[in-house]
C-alpha cells in the first residue's frame, strides 16, 4: 500500500499450500474491508496527484520496460514460486513469466503509437478523439495463471495511466507479491500500484462496491462475475469480465488425424484442464470417431502426471483441495448421469502422489448435451466426447451452451473449416490448432463468458475513457437566438 508493506490488522492468516505436497509454504494476510477502502483511497489520491497519470506516454513506457526487465531477470524465482503455489509444471510456469514480460513490453510499445483520432467534422470544426485514464482500476484475478492474469490487467491499466489495486486469488498470492516487490524497484511512483491479499467476499466485494473505483476488471467464474456486476451498479463503474467456458473442439472426418489428436490433448490437458479456454467438449464426426477416440485415449493414458518441479512431469497438480474435490465430484456425477468413463476418473496415489492433489487424465464418451458434465465448467483434466453426423449438427451442438469463450475446428477442407468456425459463437477460435494465441489479439468471450476484451489494443481501450474535443477553428457567434 502506497509503496509500503503493511501488516493486516486481521490476526487470521491464510495457509498457502503447495498442491503437489500439501506443505505449507507461507502464511498470507487476509485484508479487511477497512484496509481495502484505505488502499482504494491511496490509489485515488495517487491518481489525482497526477504523479503517474500525468506522466507522458514515453515516461510510462520506460517504467513498463523496467518492469519487463525485472520479470525477465527473476524468471527462475518467479517460475519456482508459481510451480510451488499453483502446482503447474515448470515448462508452463516459465512460459507464463515470459508472456508476462512480453505483455509489459507490448503495452510499452503501444504507448509509442498515436492513441486517438482527429478529423474535420465541418468546415470550421476539427474534432479530436482523445483517450484518458479512467482513475482507479480494481483488478481481481483467479488462481489458474496467478502471475499472467494479474499482468494481463496491470500492464494495460498502468499503461493507460490509471492507479491500480490488485487482489490475487486468496490461495495463490505468491507471484503477485514478488511482482510488487519487483515493481517497487522501478521508477513506478508510490501508490500507483497497490496489492491487497484477502478473500473474495471481503476484499473483492469491497472493490466491486466502492464508489471510488472507476473500473472493476475481473477474471474468474461466471457465478462470481454476476455478483461483481451487481455490486458495481452503485456508482455504475465500468465492468470488464473474463469468465468461464465450456469450449467445443470440432473434429471432422477429413481432419489430419495426428494433428487433431495432438491439439485435442493440448486443448484439454494443458494446465490440468484448469484453463478458461480449455477444449472440454470434443465433437468428433462419426466416420473417424472410433479411430480418434482410440488414439486420443492411448495418448492421454501416456501423459506423465506429477509434481511441477519434476522435469519428467507433463501435467501438474490440481490447485487446491476444494477444487480437487469438486473435479472428483463432477467425475462421479458423469458416471451417475450414464456417461461412459473410458479413461481415468481417479485420484493418483502411486509414487507418493497421494501427498498432493493429482487426478488422472479423464475421458467420457456417450455423453449427451443435457448432462451436467457437458453443460458445466469442470475446470479439470476431464473431457466429454460427443459424436456428430454432419456440419449442421456440429454447429448446433457447439453452440448449445451458455458459454462462448473459445472453440476450434479441425478439417483439411479449409472452406468448410472457415464456414464452421465463423458460425461458432465464441470470442477465441482456431482452425487446425488449439490454445495458440498472441498478445496482439483481443481475448474474451461471447454470451456468459464475459464482457470486454483483454490484451491487444482492445485491452488498452478497456482501461481508458474516450473524450471528444470539438475545436472551433474560426470562432464567431452561432447567432441561434438572433
Ligand atoms: P472465482 O472463484 O470466480 O474467483 C476469482 C477471483 O474472484 C478470486 O480472486 C476470488 O477471491 C474473487 N472473488 C470471489 N468471490 C468474490 C466476490 N463476491 N466479489 C469479488 N471477488 C470475489 O474463480 P476461480 O475459482 O479463482 O478461477 C476459476 C474460474 O476463472 C473459471 O471459471 C475460469 O474459467 C475462469 N477464468 C477465466 C479466464 C478468462 O480469460 N476468461 C481466465 C482464467 C480463469 P478468492 O480467491 O478469495 O475466492
Ligand atoms: Mg474461488
Candidate CATH numbers 3.40.309.10, 3.30.420.40, 3.30.70.3280, 2.40.10.10; the one for domain 248-431: 3.40.309.10
Residues 151-164: tens digit of each pLDDT: 999 999 999 999 99
Task: Judge contact between 403 and 449, C-beta under 8 A.
Answer: yes
- The secondary structure of 124-164 as a DSSP string is TEEEEEEEEE-SEEEEE--SSSHHHHHHHHHHHHHHTT-EE
pLDDT computed for residue 472 by the predictor: 97
- Residue boundaries of the structural domains of the chain: 13-243+449-469, 248-431
Atom of ligand 1 nearest to the CA of 405: 41
What pLDDT score does 45 carry? 98
**Per-residue pLDDT at 3:** 83
Residue 425, burial from CB neighbour count under 10 angstroms (0-12, 13-18, 19+) = middle
User: Cα of 8 to ligand 2 centre, how many Å?
Assistant: 21
User: CA 466, 168, 428, 113 torsion: positive or negative?
Assistant: positive
Q: Residue 190: CB within 6 Å of ligand 1?
A: no
Mutate to test the pocket of ligand 1, among 103, 152, 200, 462 (most ligand atoms within 8 A of CB): 200
What is the pTM (predicted TM-score) of this model? Answer: 0.97
State the average pLDDT over residues 183-190. 97
**Residue 437 CB partners (closer than 8 Å, separation 6+):** 428, 443
Closest approach atom of ligand 1 to CA 323:
25
417 lines ligand 1 (CB under 6 A): no
Residue that has been written with the C-alpha cell 457437458 in this structure: 374
Task: For ligand 1, atom 9, name the residue with the nearest CA.
Answer: 169
User: pLDDT at position 2, please?
Assistant: 77
Q: Do 13-243+449-469 and 248-431 fold alike per CATH?
A: no
For the question of residue 276 being annotated catalytic, the response is yes
Q: Give tens-digit pLDDT for 385-443.
A: 999 999 999 999 999 999 999 999 999 999 999 999 999 999 999 999 999 999 999 99
- Which residue among 221, 232, 244 has the greatest number of ligand 1 atoms within 8 angstroms of its CB, and so is best to mutate? 221
Helix count and strand count (H, E) for the chain: 15, 18
Residue 323 alpha carbon to ligand 2 centre in Å: 8
CATH class of residue range 13-243+449-469: alpha beta
What's the mean pLDDT in 72-93?
98
Asked whether residue 1 carries a pLDDT value surpassing 80, the answer given is no
Indicate if the pLDDT at residue 105 is higher than 90.
yes
The pLDDT tens digits of the residues spanning 280-336 come to 999 999 999 999 999 999 999 999 999 999 999 999 999 999 999 999 999 999 999
Measured CA to CA, the distance from residue 223 to residue 212 in angstroms comes to: 24
Amino acid at each position: 500500500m502506497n509503496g509500503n508493506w503493511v501488516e493486516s490488522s486481521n490476526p487470521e492468516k491464510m495457509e498457502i499450500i503447495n498442491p503437489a505436497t500439501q506443505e505449507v509454504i507461507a502464511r498470507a494476510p487476509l485484508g479487511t474491508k477497512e484496509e481495502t477502502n484505505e488502499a482504494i483511497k491511496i490509489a485515488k489520491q495517487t491518481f489525482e496527484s497526477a504523479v503517474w497519470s500525468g506522466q507522458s506516454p514515453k515516461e510510462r513506457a520506460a517504467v513498463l520496460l523496467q518492469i519487463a526487465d525485472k520479470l525477465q531477470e527473476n524468471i527462475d524465482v518467479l517460475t519456482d514460486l508459481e510451480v510451488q503455489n499453483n502446482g503447474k509444471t515448470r515448462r508452463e510456469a516459465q512460459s507464463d513469466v515470459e508472456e508476462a514480460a512480453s505483455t509489459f513490453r507490448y503495452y510499452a510499445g503501444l504507448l509509442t503509437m498515436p492513441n486517438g483520432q482527429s478529423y474535420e467534422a465541418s468546415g470550421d470544426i476539427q474534432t479530436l478523439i482523445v483517450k484518458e485514464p479512467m482513475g482507479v482500476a480494481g483488478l481481481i484475478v483467479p488462481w489458474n495463471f496467478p502471475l499472467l492474469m494479474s499482468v494481463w490487467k496491470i500492464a494495460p491499466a498502468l499503461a493507460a495511466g490509471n492507479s491500480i489495486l490488485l487482489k490475487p486469488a486468496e490461495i495463490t498470492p505468491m507471484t503477485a507479491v514478488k511482482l510488487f516487490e519487483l515493481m517497487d524497484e522501478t521508477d513506478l511512483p508510490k501508490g500507483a500500484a497497490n496489492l491487497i491479499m484477502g478473500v473474495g467476499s471481503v476484499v473483492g466485494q469491497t472493490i466491486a462496491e466502492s464508489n471510488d473505483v472507476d473500473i472493476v476488471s475481473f477474471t474468474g467464474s461466471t457465478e462470481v462475475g454476476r455478483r461483481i456486476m451487481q455490486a458495481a451498479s452503485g456508482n455504475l463503474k465500468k465492468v470488464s469480465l473474463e469468465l468461464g467456458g465450456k469450449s467445443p473442439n470440432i473434429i471432422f472426418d477429413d481432419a489430419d488425424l495426428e494433428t487433431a489428436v495432438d491439439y485435442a490433448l493440448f486443448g484439454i490437458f494443458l494446465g490440468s484442464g484448469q484453463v478458461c479456454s480449455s477444449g472440454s467438449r470434443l465433437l468428433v464426426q462419426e466416420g473417424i470417431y472410433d479411430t480418434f477416440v482410440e488414439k486420443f485415449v492411448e495418448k492421454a493414458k501416456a501423459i506423465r502426471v506429477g509434481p511441477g518441479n519434476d522435469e519428467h512431469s507433463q501435467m501438474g497438480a490440481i490447485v487446491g483441495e476444494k477444487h480437487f474435490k469438486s473435479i472428483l465430484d463432477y467425475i462421479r456425477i458423469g458416471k451417475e448421469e450414464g456417461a461412459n468413463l473410458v479413461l481415468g476418473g481417479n485420484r493418483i496415489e502411486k509414487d507418493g502422489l497421494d501427498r498432493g492433489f493429482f487426478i488422472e487424465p479423464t475421458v467420457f464418451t456417450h455423453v449427451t448435451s443435457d448432462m451436467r458434465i457437458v453443460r458445466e465448467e469442470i475446470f479439470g483434466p476431464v473431457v466429454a466426447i460427443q459424436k456428430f453426423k454432419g456440419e449442421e449438427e456440429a454447429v448446433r451442438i457447439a453452440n448449445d451452451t451458455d458459454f462462448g469463450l473459445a472453440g476450434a475446428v479441425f478439417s483439411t477442407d479449409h472452406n468448410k473449416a472457415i464456414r464452421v468456425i465463423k458460425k461458432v459463437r465464441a470470442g477465441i477460435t482456431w482452425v487446425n490448432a488449439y490454445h495458440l494465441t498472441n498478445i496482439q489479439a483481443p481475448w474474451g468471450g461471447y454470451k456468459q463468458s464475459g464482457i470486454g476484451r483483454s490484451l491487444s489494443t482492445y485491452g488498452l481501450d478497456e482501461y481508458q475513457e474516450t473524450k471528444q474535443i470539438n475545436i472551433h477553428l474560426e470562432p464567431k457567434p452561432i447567432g441561434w437566438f438572433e
